[in-house]
């Protein structure tokens, strides 16, 4: 039995992961969300394969201690002794021109999009080390908006990328650094592609109205399905600045074979 933990699993891409993973037999999926009282009934209604199990715990990225408390609850209340894959998906986005950024908004973005995923990795480390697969993975849902090299490329999008992009750049750094410091763990930052979610309500409308002929939006489920096929075999990739269209893609660094970075279904 494989065990996954997904943050931000109440809607959008996170819920897409949840829907797909619960279709796998004998899989435990942990939905770590800010407001369990609001979403528990909806999430528990998701169809499940034989032996699939859903656990819901509270985790608010704005609260530094929440990740550790969620892990404690998993261990003491739900008898979770190991994790195989952790997906740090929860994020916020409030698109603003760079010189109009409010310091408070910048701090909020860095807290949720960069610091909280790092706190999650710290808290889940013992459970990941106990993975029964012997090859645990930490997957951070990032964005091409966090690529310094790709800034010129993404000007084609009619939305501002700050402070969201800066916070994702910090996340990318943490994930890459973790590769060198935590050699036992597969760490990877993935760009989900053009996905229509309510992460930034105004941004989604702008993208629909834009003349982006080669950019086909994906449903959260389609994006999540593509992302579940990607992982790393001990390598990290730098963002190349390549565009993602039609399918979710990972920007691979030079010399890496795309076939070497696929997650195998458990």
Domain total in the chain = 1
Residue 206 lies in a domain: yes
Residue 19 lies in a domain: yes
Rounded Cα distance, 7 and 58, in Å: 9
**What percent of the chain is predicted at pLDDT more than 90?**
53
Look up the domain containing 133 and give its range. Answer: 2-261
Task: Give pTM, 2 decimals.
Answer: 0.79
pLDDT per residue as tens digits for the range 214-258: 555 544 445 444 445 544 333 334 333 333 332 333 333 333 333
Residue 211 lies in a domain: yes
Residue 35 lies in a domain: yes
Classify residue 252 by its DSSP letter.
Answer: P
Residue 266 lies in a domain: no
Residue 13 lies in a domain: yes
From the list 15, 157, 168, 194, the catalytic residue is 168
pLDDT per residue as tens digits for the range 101-151: 999 999 999 999 999 999 999 999 999 999 999 889 999 988 878 888 878
Instruction: Say what angle helices 164-181 and 103-110 make with each other, to 10 degrees.
Output: 30
Range 259-264, long-range pairs (CB < 8 A, 24+ positions): 260/233, 260/235, 261/188, 261/230, 261/231, 261/232, 261/233, 261/235, 261/237, 262/229, 262/230, 262/231, 263/85, 263/137, 263/228, 263/229, 263/230, 263/231
From the list 157, 164, 216, 264, the catalytic residue is 164
- 108 Cβ partners below 8 Å, 6+ apart? 62, 92
| CATH code of the domain containing 246 | 3.40.50.720
Note if 194 is an active site residue.
no
Residue 225 lies in a domain: yes
Residue 218 lies in a domain: yes
pLDDT at 217: 53
Note if 138 is an active site residue.
no
């Amino acid at each position: 039995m494989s065990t996954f933990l997904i943050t931000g699993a109440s809607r959008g891409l996170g819920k897409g992961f949840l829907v797909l993973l619960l279709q796998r037999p004998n899989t435990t999926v942990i939905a770590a969300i800010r407001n369990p009282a609001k979403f528990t009934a909806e999430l528990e209604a998701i169809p499940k394969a034989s032996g699939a199990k859903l656990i819901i715990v509270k985790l608010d990225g704005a609260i530094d201690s929440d990740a550790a408390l969620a892990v404690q609850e998993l261990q003491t209340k739900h008898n979770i002794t190991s994790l195989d894959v952790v997906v740090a998906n929860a994020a916020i986005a409030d698109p603003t021109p760079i010189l109009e950024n409010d310091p408070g908004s910048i701090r909020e973005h860095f807290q949720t999009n960069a610091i909280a995923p790092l706190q999650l990795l710290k808290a889940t480390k013992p459970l990941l080390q106990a993975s029964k697969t012997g090859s645990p993975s930490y997957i951070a849902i990032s964005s091409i908006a966090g690529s310094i090299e790709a800034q010129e490329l993404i000007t084609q999008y009619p939305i501002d990328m700050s402070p969201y992009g800066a916070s994702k750049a910090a996340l990318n750094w943490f994930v890459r650094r973790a590769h060198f410091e935590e050699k036992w763990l597969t760490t990877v930052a993935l760009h989900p592609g053009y996905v229509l979610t309510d992460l930034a309500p105004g941004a989604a409308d702008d993208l629909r109205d834009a003349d982006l002929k080669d950019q086909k939006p994906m449903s959260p489920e389609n994006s999540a399905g593509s992302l579940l096929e990607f992982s790393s075999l001990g390598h990290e990739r730098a963002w190349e600045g390549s565009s993602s269209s039609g399918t979710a893609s990972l920007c691979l660094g030079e010399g890496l074979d795309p076939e070497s970075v696929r997650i195998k279904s458990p």
